Amino acid sequence: MTDSTSELLLPAPAKLNRMLHITGRRADGYHELQTLFQFLDHGDELRLRLRPDGEIRLTPPIAGLPDSNNLIVRAARLLQAESGCQLGADIHLTKRLPMGGGLGGGSSDAATTLLGLDRLWRLGLSLDRLAGLGLSLGADVPVFVRGRAAWAEGVGEKLTPVELDTPWFVVVHPGIEVATHAVFGAAQLTRNTPPITMARALQGGAPSWHNDCEPTVRSLYPQVAEALDWLGSRAPAMLTGTGACLFARLGSEVTARRLLADLPGRYTAFIARGLNLSPLHAALGR
Ligand SMILES: C[C@@](CO)(OP(=O)(O)O)[C@H](O)COP(=O)(O)OP(=O)(O)OC[C@H]1O[C@@H](n2ccc(N)nc2=O)[C@H](O)[C@@H]1O
Ligand SMILES: Nc1ncnc2c1ncn2[C@@H]1O[C@H](COP(=O)(O)OP(=O)(O)O)[C@@H](O)[C@H]1O
218-257 confidence digits (pLDDT tens):
999 999 999 999 999 999 999 999 999 999 999 999 999 9
Angle at 140 between CA 83 and CA 80, to 5 degrees: 15
For residue 180, the CA-to-ligand 1 centroid distance in Å is 6
pTM higher than 0.90 for the full model? yes
Total domains in the fold of the chain: 2
The per-residue pLDDT for range 268-282, each reduced to its tens digit, is 999 999 999 999 999
- Residue 258 within any structural domain of the chain: yes
Residues 6+ apart with CB under 8 A from 181: none
Question: Where does ligand 2 bind, in terms of residues with CB under 6 Å?
Answer: 65, 69-72, 97, 99-107, 109, 241
pLDDT in tens, 155-166: 888 999 999 999
Q: Which atom of ligand 2 is nearest to the CA of 72?
A: 1
Tens of pLDDT, residue by residue over 188-224, are 999 999 999 999 999 999 999 999 999 999 999 999 9
| Complex-level ipTM | 0.95
Q: Mean pLDDT in the chain? A: 96
In order of 1, 61, 70, 168, the CA distances from 12 in angstroms are 12, 17, 15, 19
Same domain as 193, residue 131 = no
Give the torsion sign (CA, 8, 144, 92, 176): positive
140 is catalytic: yes
Determine if ligand 1 sits within 6 Å of the CB of residue 139.
yes
| Widest CA span in the chain | 56
| Boundary of a domain, candidates 147, 162, 177 | 162
> Could you give the CA distance from residue 95 to residue 74 in angstroms, rounded to a whole number?
17
29 belongs to an annotated ligand binding site? no
In this structure, the residue with its CA closest to atom 19 of ligand 2 is: 100
Judge if 13 and 136 occupy the same domain: yes
Q: How confident is the model at residue 1 (pLDDT cuts 50, 70, 90)?
A: low
Measured CA distances, 29 to 32, 139, 178, 181, 184 (Å): 10, 14, 19, 11, 9
Is the CB of 191 inside a 6 Å radius of any atom of ligand 1? Answer: no
- pLDDT surpasses 70 at 119: yes
At 184 the pLDDT is: 96
Domain contains 219: yes
Give the Å distances, CA to CA, from 122 to 5, 6, 15, 139, 171: 10, 11, 27, 26, 36
Q: Which of 136, 162, 188 is where one domain is finished?
A: 162
Res 2: pLDDT: 54
Query: Does one domain contain both 113 and 212?
Result: no
112 and 13, same structural domain? yes
Q: Is 98 annotated as a binding residue?
A: yes
Q: What are phi and psi of 45, to 5 degrees?
A: -140, 140
Residues 109 and 235 in one domain: no
127 shares its domain with 177? no
| pLDDT over 90 at 5, yes or no | no
Question: Which CATH number belongs to the domain containing residue 68 in this structure?
Answer: 3.30.230.10
Q: What pLDDT does residue 4 have?
A: 55
Instruction: Judge whether 106 is annotated as a binding position.
Output: yes
- Does the annotation place 100 within a ligand binding site? yes
Q: Which atom of ligand 1 is nearest to the CA of 141?
A: 16
33 lines ligand 1 (CB under 6 A): yes
- 3-class secondary structure, 96: coil
- 112, 140, 162: which is the final residue of a domain? 162
Asked if residue 79 and residue 13 are part of one domain, the reply reads yes
User: How far, CA to CA in Å, does 22 sit from each of 57, 93, 200, 237, 282?
Assistant: 38, 33, 16, 19, 32
**Active-site residue 262, yes or no?**
no
pLDDT band of residue 115 (cuts 50, 70, 90) is very high
Please tell me whether residues 122 and 187 are part of one structural domain.
no
Q: Which domain holds residue 254?
A: 168-275
The reply to whether 149 and 261 lie within a common domain is no
How much distance in Å is there from the Cα of 104 to the middle of ligand 2?
7
Separation between Cα atoms, residue 221 and residue 145, nearest integer Å: 32
Residue type for position 85 = C
The Cα–Cα gap between 129 and 118 comes to 11
Q: Please tell me the predicted confidence (pLDDT) of residue 156.
A: 86
* 280 CA to centre of ligand 1 in angstroms: 23
- Nearest protein Cα to ligand 2, atom 5: 106
